[in-house]
Structure 1
Amino acid sequence: MRVDLIIFDCDGVIADSEVLSAEVLIDQLAGLGIAVTAEDVRRDFLGRSFPTVAASIRTRFARDLPADFESTYRSRLLARFEAGLAATPGFPAMLAALDRPVCVATSSSPPRVARTLSLLGLTDRFGPHVFTASQVARGKPAPDLFLFAADRMGTPPAHALVIEDSAAGLEAARAAGMRVVHYTGGAHLAGLPGDPDAPGLACWSAFPALLARLGAGR
């Protein structure tokens, strides 16, 4: 079946940002006396919206968080992005060569994804085709965001291909009836196994061949 639309997650797929995000969150929680590890973040929070992450922290540690916890986290994270954010290796060149519609569907907030794409020089490439969890009732792992993105792009779910790095994102794509590729080339997944039930992709230079194998003829 042909692929008429490629939907990219942002953090960990387009932007090699998940290690930075984890470091900021771990440091901020440590200041409150809450200890989490990078593995905790990867296992429990990867691919989920920040309100979902914050709710999970409150439940897990039976602690209220300061009223400014989210805003402080976002400002600290954007400062880290300004200093050290990069695209995943080879992504801009791969994207420039794609011959079909693309969009972004992310759990990140609109300001965060907008700044991310700006820092990476990709704002114009995606244009208005950037969709966030703030636009749907349920974030990943529910299918709502991917279904919303496909609808806005005018593409049936069966003809969309999702590129995701997180378990929540992979689950959401499958629930939406879309094909999925597990991208493992981000620094946060180095040395870890891929999803056994999804085609894996560790290097963007291999994506055109993978796309062809997935029956991407138009």
Structure 2
Amino acid sequence: MNTVIFDFDGVLADSEIIALSELRTSLEEYGIIMDWDALVEQFLGASVRQIIAFVEQRAGRPVDAGFQKDWYKRLFASYRARLKPMPGAAEMLDRLDAAGIDYCIASGGSYKRLGVALECIGFSERFADRAFSADSVEHGKPAPDVFLYAAEKRGASFADCVVLEDSIAGVTAAGRAGMRAIGFVGGGHLEGIRPLHADRLRAVGAKPVLTGLRDFEEAAFGGA
């Protein structure tokens, strides 16, 4: 029995363009200036712990609790004002429900961030008890931990899981978990670098790479 494991940000919700923009503001407060492509490559799929470790290494000083608090305050305000589901996400999930295919979320983001975002796009009930975060495991992506954890929680065989991911770290993590990874480059955060990022995902094992969710079932199951 197949189980689909979705990354969340940039896959089910068009949230990465908001999150990365707000993160860049927080980074600048620590003297870290990055262009958009570098921001995407470095932080797409990263956990809060990984982001803080990067900031501490680059800034050469500890990051206090205010970093995450201030980032989340701005982030959640922006989510509530303008976060939307990825085009076609609800329809795709309806089709999976109709076909009896199990699915869940395995996100590098925190449970707090995931919960706010799910509420904003109206998916909270749909993903009740099947939205998992790197908060629950020792290592975030590209380690396989969060995918293995999600599969165990769903009672799924690792080999029967199909992962939909927009990040290099996520595709790498899926491969390390022994799961097939399909890439996704439909998010607003990849505008202008979509072909480049698609090549990056293919290079670490994504096959195929999709630009929209309409073709997901065909890519994953041959039209199931």
Indicate whether the TM-score tops 0.5: yes
Q: What is the aligned residue count?
A: 213
Q: Which residue of 2 aligns with 1:56?
A: 54
Residue from 85, 92, 108 that aligns with 1:87: 85
Q: Which residue of 1 aligns with 2:106?
A: 105
TM-score, normalising length: structure 2 = 0.90
Q: Which residue of 1 aligns with 2:217?
A: 208
| 2:92/2:213 contact within 8 Å kept | yes
What displacement does 1:4 show? 1.2
What displacement does 1:30 show? 2.2
- Identical-residue share of aligned pairs (%): 36
Q: Which residue of 1 aligns with 2:194?
A: 192
What displacement does 1:92 show? 1.0
CA distance in structure 1 between the aligned counterparts of 2:45 and 2:211, rounded to whole angstroms: 18
Worse-superposed segment, 3-12 or 163-172: 3-12
CA distance in structure 2 between the aligned counterparts of 1:50 and 1:187, rounded to whole angstroms: 21
What displacement does 1:156 show? 0.6
5+ residue gaps in structure 2?
none
**Secondary structure of 1:24's aligned partner:** helix
5+ residue gaps in structure 1?
none
Q: How does 1:8-87 map to 2 (within 5 A)?
A: 8-87=6-85
Taking CA–CA contacts closer than 8 Å with sequence separation of 6 or more, which of the two structures ends up with the larger relative contact order?
Answer: 1
For residues 116-150 of structure 1, the C-alpha deviation after alignment (integer angstroms, 9 at most, x for no partner) is 11111111111101111111111111111101110
CA distance in structure 1 between the aligned counterparts of 2:104 and 2:214, rounded to whole angstroms: 19
Matching residue's letter, 2:159:
A
**Secondary structure of 1:89's aligned partner:** coil
Matching residue's letter, 1:192:
R
Worse-superposed segment, 28-37 or 140-149: 28-37
TM-score, normalising length: structure 1 = 0.92
What displacement does 1:63 show? 3.5
CA distance in structure 2 between the aligned counterparts of 1:187 and 1:31, rounded to whole angstroms: 25
What displacement does 1:32 show? 3.8
CA distance in structure 2 between the aligned counterparts of 1:80 and 1:211, rounded to whole angstroms: 33
Worse-superposed segment, 147-156 or 19-28: 19-28
